[in-house]
Amino acid sequence: MLTLPNGERLNLPATVRILFEVETLKYATPATVSRCGMVWFSGDIVDSDMLVRHYTELLKHSVFEDLDEDGPAGTLVSSTAVRDSQSVVVDVVGKYFSGQFISKALQRAKDFNHIMEFTDTRALNTLFSLIQRACRTIIEYNDQHSDFPLEYEQIEHFISRKLLLCFIWSFAGDCPLSTRQVLGDFLSGMTTISVPVGSALLDFNVTLPSATWDPWQEVVPERDVDPQDVNTADTVIPTVDTVRHEEILYSWMSEHRPVILCGPPGSGKTMTLFNALRKLPNFEVASINFSSATTPDLVVKSLEQYCEYRKTMNGTILAPAQIGRWLVLFCDEINLPAPDTYGTQRVISFMRQLVEQGGFWRSATRTWITLERIQFVGACNPPTDAGRVPLSPRFLRHSPVIMVDYPGTQSLRQIYSTFVRGVLKCAPDLRGFADSVTRAMVEFYSQSQSKYTAPVHSHYIYSPRELTRWVRGIYEAIRPLEGLRLEDLVRIWAHEGLRLFQDRLVGEEERIWTRDNLFSIAEDHFPGVDLATALSEPIMFSNWLSKFYVSVDREVLREFTKSRLKTFCEEEVDVPLVLFNDVLDHVLRIDRVFRQPQGHLILIGISGSGKVYLYVPLMLNVDNPCTVCCLDEWLESLPDQSARKIFCRRL
């Protein structure tokens, strides 16, 4: 008898046998256990050597079915040439698969701190997929150059060097860059292959036909942006990190493997993925934002939106509507779904079935649906972050994991110097100070990021998004101005930096440190500027007194605001309005955020601290931003007297 989740019981015919394959019996009842035969599979039954031998045999007889479609040559590939190339690759790979090379590399990788749970199976499956891609590269090259195919020595040099990079990405791809470099040095010491001296292996790539170590820096394109590009969300500045990540994504995407990008918030996971997919013409992207309540039904509905059911001789398939294209289902925040009572993430288990079995059971028609030309890509924050759930190893073994960490100092300077140069096109006389502005921004960001971390307060999270907002704030301020002086630029730079890094701090000592550190960095990077004038306090910017966003005096702003609100307060509530310094400061900060593109704000503080009094005017009419300049007309447009009274009372 079989008991269903809804309590219904079904009698099993004598000809039916059920085989359960589970990871653990933690939630199995004694009644179930006592009625079933059991076989325990230890993790030692299938070791790494067996997996290697199995893959080697598969590689000898692999059939690259989609080579003619995805390959750039677009011509039929000779099966004999393909077999010859595969045989050479197997011979070269076999030299490194034999002996203790893999076992030592795996043992060394287990000593590292991985962003997700590390298993031998996932590491080896990732390695095999990268080798498969390298073999495909050789076949495609020989197809394009059929008159002069690669010789044995060229293939040997290419595969042997490429194999070292494959080991690094497979065994430490889910680790920080420094850890990958450690593994690269370890592998270099175990092999006789000539490697670059004095540089990390990951700073190089191996390409055909030369099969030499080519620096990634030489292939990073330089980009010049216009001022308006700063506010464009899809503007990507190529760096060594982005180019390197895109290349490894190409390798897995071409093998149609599911991929997971994991990293801290603001590290550029989504940007890197979409920038890579835009360069692949045969891929269409469908996005799903996962939450704690995401169910398998959402995945199916998303697939049905971009795909269509087709009946074939082999059953019903679900394939993209456009013939010949692949659908990439991008699952953002893939580790957010909450587990059920028994510790299972239903949507993750469903996706594992889609990857492992290639389809799902459609209950409406009681038919098995086979997926065709559909693959999955996920992105998430580390499982140690709040609200995150570690993904099951049974799902992860099918998916390579790559850690996308925050860019290093050199990459940050490269990215934001490009943006700053674009912004300063609005002030041609100051374009020579782009490098000083960039270095000052990156230095202040790096010091604040290292000093104030999430363990101190949960909202102390500094990412490159702060630098992007910093540049956008400078652009919005200087865009309409003419005759901008260097002192004005430094004052705008300091104001935006304080708003981004100081306003979220809790303690007064922290705010003082941030202010002093910003002023100290300004002295180092702007030596010829009259800082007494440029950084005179208080630093306040507003467009209330004029149509431009410029520096204003606090007392002048206070009197202006009082005069604009005096009549309204006398008519409606007969209560004098007291505008003390903190009120002015906070209202200007809120107004600054909502003036910017994609400006969103979180007000943090204990109950009764006055947060509601500051943002209720903006809540009443979201479509009409509330500034003092337009306050009179806006008050007259309010639908009734009650809203006006609420506004004045809450203010």
Describe the chain by its helix, strand, coil percentages, rounded to 5: 50, 10, 40
- When pLDDT is cut at 50, 70 and 90, the band that residue 501 belongs to is very high
Between CA 66 and CA 40 the distance in angstroms is 39
Using DSSP, how many helices (H) and how many strands (E) does the chain show? 24, 15
Instruction: List the CATH code of the domain at 49-215.
Output: 1.10.472.130
Between CA 423 and CA 298 the distance in angstroms is 42
| Residues 164, 167, 168: CA angle, nearest 5 degrees | 90
pLDDT in tens, 539-568: 999 888 888 889 999 889 888 877 776 765
Secondary structure (H, E, C), 291-340: CCCCCHHHHHHHHHHHEEEEEECCEEEEEECCCCCEEEEEEECCCCCCCC
Residue 363, φ and ψ in degrees, nearest 5: -70, -30
CA distances from 440 to 238, 464, 537 (A): 21, 14, 20
What is the torsion angle, in degrees rounded to the nearest 10, for the CA atoms of residue 628, residue 634, residue 636 and residue 637? -170
Q: What's this model's pTM, rounded to 2 decimal places?
A: 0.84
The pLDDT mean for the chain works out to: 85
Residue 19, φ and ψ in degrees, nearest 5: -110, 115
pLDDT in tens, 433-492: 999 999 999 999 999 999 998 888 888 889 999 999 999 999 999 998 888 999 999 999
Q: Which DSSP string do the residues of 45-68 spell out, in sequence order?
A: SS-HHHHHHHHHHHHHT---TTHH
Secondary structure (H, E, C), 507-524: CHHHHHHHHHHHHHHHHH
Q: In the predicted model, is pLDDT for residue 115 greater than 90?
A: yes
What CATH number does domain 409-539 carry, 3.40.50.620, 1.10.238.10, 1.20.920.30, 3.90.700.10?
Answer: 1.20.920.30
Retrieve residue 91's tokens.
Answer: 């011979």
Based on its alpha-carbon atoms, the radius of gyration of the chain, rounded to whole angstroms, reads 30
Share of the chain above pLDDT 70, in %: 88
Between CA 577 and CA 181 the distance in angstroms is 62
pLDDT in tens, 604-638: 777 766 666 554 333 333 333 444 344 455 556 65
- When pLDDT is cut at 50, 70 and 90, the band that residue 308 belongs to is very high
Amino acid at 286: A
pLDDT in tens, 156-212: 899 999 999 999 999 999 999 999 999 999 999 888 888 888 888 999 999 988 889
pLDDT in tens, 223-255: 899 988 888 887 889 999 999 999 999 889 888
HSE-up (13 A, CA, CB side) for residue 331? 25
Q: Which residues contact 240 (CB under 8 A, 6 or more apart)?
A: 203, 216, 217, 220, 411
CATH topology of domain 256-403: Rossmann fold (3.40.50)
DSSP symbol at 356:
H
Between CA 303 and CA 286 the distance in angstroms is 8
The residues of the chain that CATH labels 1.10.472.130 are 49-215
- Residue 319 near residue 310 (C-beta atoms within 8 A): yes
- When pLDDT is cut at 50, 70 and 90, the band that residue 78 belongs to is low
